[in-house]
Amino acid sequence: MNSKTFHQETINKILAADNEISDEVNVRSASAPFQAEFPYERDSEAQVTRREFCNFLFLTSSALFLGAAGFAGKSAYDARSPKTFTPAKIDGAMTIEPGSALNFAYPSEEDTAILIRGTDGTYAAFGQKCTHLSCPVYYSQANDRLECPCHNGGFSSKTGEVLCPPPRPLDRIELRRSMVRFCSQKRGAWQ
Ligand code: FES
């Protein structure tokens, strides 16, 4: 009997059992002769599936591990390699009056910064983002300090040191004759 006949017998047996629910049991019993001609082990087939699943898990977790290691390595590298900031001119710096301030952008056009000329005529410049939750700070001439309107933060207008609440000093910008250089006090060193 060829496989086509077996196949037809199988179909006939399944169709004949119209009063039964067609499930795996009656399909398996009906297809037994067909299996004899083309034997395969369902258990070993399931094992292959498990093995494939394990391989998939292994490959996926390996890929995740390698990805995480790559990100960690890049972060460590970035933290260790010093950033360079291009010196830039602050337009109008020489014309501001003592006891006033001037906004400018540094180190990029998206980073707002503030130049202060104290009442004694000295200059200082800082990143304008409050170190608490990044609200912009402003210069208070009355108190001669930088103040944050969001949670009443206060910083020294000379050094950027914290006078009240925020966790760390403002990022300081080094001033030179007609040039500026950025310093993050977060890292504790001029850059
Ligand atoms: S954001 Fe400046 S004190 Fe909170």
Ligand 1 atom index nearest CA of 166: 3
Q: Is 13 in the pocket of ligand 1 (CB under 6 A)?
A: no
Grouping H, G, I as helix, E, B as strand and the rest as coil, residue 146 is: strand
Half-sphere exposure of 128 (CA within 13 A, CB side): 22
**Which part of the chain has CATH 2.102.10.10?**
93-190
Overall average pLDDT of the 101-108 stretch: 93
Atom of ligand 1 nearest to the CA of 149: 2
In the CATH hierarchy, which top-level class contains the domain 93-190? mainly beta
pLDDT band at 24 (very low <50, low <70, confident <90, very high): low
Q: Is the pLDDT of residue 148 over 80?
A: yes
pTM given for the model = 0.55
Whether the CB-CB separation of 185 and 160 falls below 8 Å is answered with yes
Q: Supply φ then ψ for residue 110, to 5 degrees.
A: -85, -10
154 alpha carbon – ligand 1 mean position (Å): 9
Ligand 1 pocket, mutate which of 151, 155, 162, 164 (most atoms under 8 A from CB): 151
The residue with greater pLDDT, 16 or 103, is: 103
| CA–CA separation, 59 and 52 (whole Å) | 10
pLDDT digits (tens, 9 = 90+) for 6-18: 566 766 766 666 5
pLDDT, tens digit, for every residue of 39-97?
Answer: 555 565 556 677 788 888 899 998 999 988 888 888 777 777 667 888 888 988 888 99
Residue 29, amino acid: S
Mean pLDDT, rounded, for 19-37:
59
